[in-house]
């Protein structure tokens, strides 16, 4: 995974085709690690991990965000007129992130990142009618890489991009699980 901003800038200058050709990140990962390794996460998430994550999250203190994510992860209809937070798989991935993010304790400690902030660092949503370039210009201080989901709603995403160095790398996958996996490969 790339952690150094200079390293990511060098890679995008050396390999500019990552910016305009879908699937190159996955292809590179397949060549490096093989098809069996590349398909492990996707194959196991829906057949076991997802249900275990949801079960663990039900034991947490419920927050409005966690409630919305669990409702979406379970494909349940929201209590209110709100649309689902995300599709089932993205919601369950964000529930997993919720489990991994430390909850604030009663004592004063150095400020830790909140679940909402952690979610915003992983994936952002942009309506498909809005300019992706405007998103890149107006987003400040977000750690990279992160997913940019574009569609009519969070539950109806039509395309994913990985934002790296204020540049959009198109994801070959149109599913939240596939896009998440590709983002993790960087």
Q: Is the pTM of this model over 0.75?
A: no
Confidence label for 132 from pLDDT (cuts 50, 70 and 90): confident
pLDDT surpassing 90 at residue 63: no
Q: Look at 1-10, 53-62, 171-180 and tell me which has the smallest mean pLDDT.
A: 1-10
| pLDDT at position 3 | 46
Give the start-to-end residue ranges of the domains of the chain: 5-102+112-185
Question: Looking at residues 37-53, what average pLDDT do you find?
Answer: 76
**Radius of gyration for the alpha carbons in the chain, expressed in angstroms and rounded:** 17
The stretches of the chain forming alpha helices (DSSP H) are 5-14, 24-33, 35-38, 40-44, 50-57, 64-73, 88-100, 115-122, 132-138, 176-185
Question: Looking at residues 106-129, what average pLDDT do you find?
Answer: 76
Confidence label for 100 from pLDDT (cuts 50, 70 and 90): confident
Q: Is 2 helix (H, G, I), strand (E, B) or coil?
A: coil
| pLDDT at position 160 | 92
Highest mean pLDDT pick, 7-11, 44-48, 141-145: 44-48
- pLDDT tens track for 150-186: 999 998 999 999 888 788 888 888 888 888 887 776 6
In the chain, the percentage of residues whose pLDDT exceeds 70 is 69
What is the average pLDDT value for the chain, to the nearest integer? 78
Confidence label for 1 from pLDDT (cuts 50, 70 and 90): very low
Q: Look at 78-87, 90-99, 141-150 and tell me which has the smallest mean pLDDT.
A: 78-87
Q: Bigger pLDDT: 67 or 10?
A: 67
Q: In what order do the strands lie in the sheet with 156-164?
A: 123-127, 146-153, 156-164, 167-170
């Amino acid at each position: 995974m790339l952690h150094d901003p200079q390293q990511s800038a060098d890679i995008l200058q050396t390999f500019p085709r990552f910016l305009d050709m879908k699937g190159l990140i996955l292809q590179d990962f397949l060549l490096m690690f093989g098809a069996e390794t590349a398909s492990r996460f996707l194959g196991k998430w829906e057949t076991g991990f997802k249900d275990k994550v949801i079960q663990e999250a039900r034991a947490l203190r419920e927050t409005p965000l966690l409630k919305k994510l669990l409702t979406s992860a379970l494909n349940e209809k929201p209590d209110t007129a709100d649309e689902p937070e995300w599709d089932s798989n993205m919601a369950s991935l964000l529930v997993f992130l919720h489990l991994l993010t430390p909850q604030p304790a009663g004592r004063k400690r150095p400020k830790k990142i909140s679940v909402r902030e952690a979610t915003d660092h992983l994936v952002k949503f942009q309506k498909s009618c809005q300019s992706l370039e405007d998103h890149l210009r107006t987003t400040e201080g977000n750690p990279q890489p992160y997913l940019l989901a574009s569609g009519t709603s969070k539950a109806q995403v039509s395309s994913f991009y990985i934002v790296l160095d204020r540049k959009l790398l198109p994801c070959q996958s149109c599913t939240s699980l596939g896009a998440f996996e590709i983002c993790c490969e960087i």
